[in-house]
Amino acid sequence: MTLLRTQNLSAFYGDFQALFGINVTVEQGETVAIIGANGAGKTTFLRAVAGAIESAPEMVVFDGQPIGDRTPHEIVRLGIAMVPEGRRLFPSLSVEENLLLGTHSERTGPWNLKRIYELFPRLYDLRHLPAPSLSGGQQQMAAVGRSLMSNPRLLLCDELSLGLAPVVIRDIYQCLGAITAEGATVVLVEQDINRALDASARFYCFQEGHLALTAPVKGFDRAAITAAYFGV
Amino acid sequence: MDWINILIQGGLLGGFYALFAIGLSMSFGIMRLVNIAHGDLIVLAAYVGLVATWYTGLDPFSTLAIVVPVMFALGYALQRGLLNQTLSGGLLPPLLVTFGISIIIQNGLLQGFGAYDHRLQEGSIETASLHFPGGLSVGVYPLVVFAVATLAIASLQFLFYRTRLGRAFRAVSDDADTAELMGIDNLKLYALALGIAMIFTALAGVLFGIRTIFAPLSGPIRLILAFEAVIIGGLGSMWGTLVGGMVLGLAQAVGAALDPTWQILAGHLAFLAILIVRPSGLFPRTRD
C-alpha cells in the first residue's frame, strides 16, 4: 500500500525554485533514503511533505488524501512527524518536557514516555536537565523521541548523523530498527550515503532540485550512485 | 519613622505596576508582540468596569466577574482576527497595528464618555489602613493589590512551568516553527495567550481605577510604566517584573517625598539608571 506519494512536487523560496517536479512514492512499512549533495533539495522536500512549505493540495498525497495545502500542525495530527535538521530541541524546556511536546498531536499508539526511555535508556537519567546541556548524540535521541511521541505513521528524519561521532551515529541508526518494527514508515535524508543506504531498501538521489536516480539499494552499483550524487 | 512608611508605600505601589506589566510581558514573551495599545486596554478595562457598575449596581470588585471574561474574549478575538495576520512580517507591522488600536480605543472612549475623569468607588477599603507600633501605617488597599499581584504572578509561574498549556507557551516562545512541526496550532495558542494576558489587564484596569482617576487618554502613561517594570525586571522573568514594579514604586515614593513634583520623574530616572548599569534588567530570562 502506498503511504506517501508526491506528484510533480515543486517548491519555492520566494522567487527561487528549490524543487522541480519531484515524484516520490513511499510504501507502508518501508525505509527509504533520500540522498544528495548540499543544496540538492532534500530538506526542502521533507519540509514540503511536513507542510512547512505550502504546495498545491494534490502535489502531496498521504494515505490517499491530498495534504499539500495543510498546515504543519494538521499534518502531524494525520501522522507525519519530522525530526528536524540540527535537532531543534526547545532550549528552555527539560528533556522530558521536550518529549512531552510530541503529545500535542493527540495521537495514540505504541510510543509513550516509558517506551522512549526503553529505546534510549540514557535519556531517562537526563530527563530533568535542560535540553541544551545534553551532548549532540543525546540531543539527537531526544529529538527522535520527541517526534516518536506523536506516534507517527511516517517519520521524516533530516540528517540524523549531522555533526555526530561515528559511534553515536551507529547507536542511533540501530534504534531505527526498533522504530520500524513498531510499524512506522521512515524517510531518511542524509548526506552520508553509505549510512543511509545501509538502513534502507530503496533510495532516491536528488540533484539541484531534480530527481536524478531512484532504485532499490540491493545489487545497485555504488559507483553509479556516486555519479548521480555528484552529477558527473 | 516617615522614611520607612514612604518605602513601604513605594514597594506596595509596585504591585500595581506589576499588574500593569504582566500582560505586556506575556505578549512579548510568547508572540514577540510589542503591544503599544496595552495601556489603552488597561483603561478600556476600567471603563468596562465603570459601565458594569452603572448597569448592575455592583461594586467595582464584583464587576471583575464581568470585566475579566469580557477582556479575555476581546484579547482572544483581537489576536485571532487581527494581530495574528501581522506576525509574519517582522517587528514593524504589529507595532503599527497596535499603535492604530491605541488611537481607536482612545478616540472611541472620548466619543463615548467625553474627556472627563472617572473613578471607581469601592467604599471604605480605599482609605482603611493598618497601624503598627512605631508609627507605621500601611494602607489596606495597596496591601490587597500587592497580594493580588503576587498571586497573579505565582499562578502564571504555575501555568508556565507545571501545565501542558504552559509547556506549549514556552516551546512556541523558544522556536515557533518547530513547535508547529510538533503539532501545536501556534495561531490558536497566540489567541489564548493574549486572552490570558487580558485577564491581568482587566485586573490592572479595575484595581487601578479604584485607586486613582482615569480618562480616555490615560493609557500611554500606563504603557510606559508597564514597559519600565518589564525592562527593569528583565524580559521573560515574571518575578523580575514584580521586582521591577517595586523598584519603580520605590523610586517614585522617594522622589515624591523629596518634592511632590519629582514623583514621576524619579521613576523614569531609576529606570534609566538601571538601563545603564544592567541593560538586560535585573533578572533576565531566568528559569525560576
Cβ separation of B181 and A146 shorter than 8 Å?
A: no
Distance CA B277, CA B265 (A): 18
Contact B132, B69 (CB under 8 A): no
Question: Measured between beta carbons, which residues in chain A are less than 8 angstroms from residue B164?
Answer: 100, 104
What does the block give as the cell for A201?
531498501
> B125-128: long-range contacts at Cβ-Cβ below 8 A with a sequence spacing of 24 or more?
B126/B210, B126/B211
The DSSP symbol for A84 reads -
Q: What are the strands, taking DSSP E only, across B115-156?
A: 129-132, 136-139
In angstroms, the separation between the Cα of residue B135 and the nearest Cα of chain A is: 47
When pLDDT is averaged across residues B224-246 and rounded to a whole number, the result is 92
List chain A residues with CB under 8 Å of B170.
90, 92-93, 97
Q: What does the domain layout of chain B look like in residue ranges?
A: 15-113+122-216
The dihedral over CA atoms of B204, B176, B34, B15, expressed in degrees to the nearest 10, equals 30
Q: In which domain, by residue range, is A91 found?
A: 2-230
Q: What is the predicted ipTM?
A: 0.93
Binding-face residues of A in 111-150 toward B, CB within 8 A: 130, 146-147, 150
Write out the three cell numbers for B57. 449596581
Q: Do B181 and A52 touch (CB under 8 A)?
A: yes
What does pLDDT average to over chain B? Answer: 93
Percent of residues in chain A assigned helix, strand, coil, to nearest 5: 40, 30, 35
Q: CA of A156: which chain B residue's CA is closest? A: B181
Q: Find, in chain B, the residue whose alpha carbon is nearest to that of A150.
A: B182
Q: So what's the pLDDT on residue B1?
A: 59
Going residue by residue through chain A (232 aa), what tens digit of pLDDT does each one get?
Answer: 899 999 999 999 989 999 999 999 999 999 999 999 888 999 999 999 999 999 999 999 999 999 999 999 999 999 999 999 999 999 999 999 999 999 999 999 999 999 999 999 999 999 999 999 999 999 999 999 999 999 999 999 999 999 899 999 999 999 999 999 999 999 999 888 888 999 999 999 999 999 989 989 888 888 888 888 887 6
What's the structural domain count of chain A?
1
pLDDT of residue A42: 95
Chain A residues with beta carbon closer than 8 angstroms to that of B174: 90-93
Instruction: Of B98, B66, B30, give the one whose Cα is nearest residue B202.
Output: B66
| pLDDT in the model for residue B288 | 36
**What is the Cα–Cα distance from A165 to A188, expressed in whole angstroms?**
18
CA distance A5 to chain B (A): 20
SS3 content of chain B, % helix, strand, coil (to 5): 75, 5, 20
Whole-angstrom Cα distance, residue A77 to residue A152? 9
Give the pLDDT score at A47: 96
Q: Give φ, ψ of A216 to 5 degrees.
A: -70, 150
Identify which of B174, B181, B183 has the shortest CB distance to residue A84: B181
A164-178, A215-229, B72-86, B195-209: segment of lowest average pLDDT: A215-229
Number of Cβ pairs closer than 8 Å across A and B? 64
Q: What is the dihedral of CA B124, B126, B132, B134, to 10 degrees?
A: -120
Q: Which of B171, B177, B183 sits opposite A76 (nearest CB)?
A: B183
Residues of B in contact with A150 (CB under 8 A): 182-183
* A132 secondary structure, DSSP code: G
> Where is average pLDDT lowest: B99-108, B231-240, B246-255?
B231-240
Instruction: Report the predicted TM-score, pTM, of the whole model to 2 decimal places.
Output: 0.93
**What is the domain-level CATH number for residue A213?**
3.40.50.300
Q: Is B287 on the interface with A (CB under 8 A)?
A: yes
Q: Do A130 and B186 touch (CB under 8 A)?
A: no
Phi first, then psi: what are they for A19, rounded to 5°?
Answer: -130, 140
% of chain B beyond a pLDDT of 90: 84
Among B178, B189, B235, B238, the strongest candidate for a mutation testing the A interface, having the largest count of A CBs within 10 A, is B178
Note whether A93 contacts B179, CB cutoff 8 Å. no
Give B243's pLDDT tier (boundaries 50, 70, 90): very high
Q: Give, in order, the Cα–Cα distances in Å from B169 to each of A122, B161, B163.
A: 27, 10, 10
Distance (Å) from the C-alpha of residue B26 to the closest C-alpha of chain A? 16
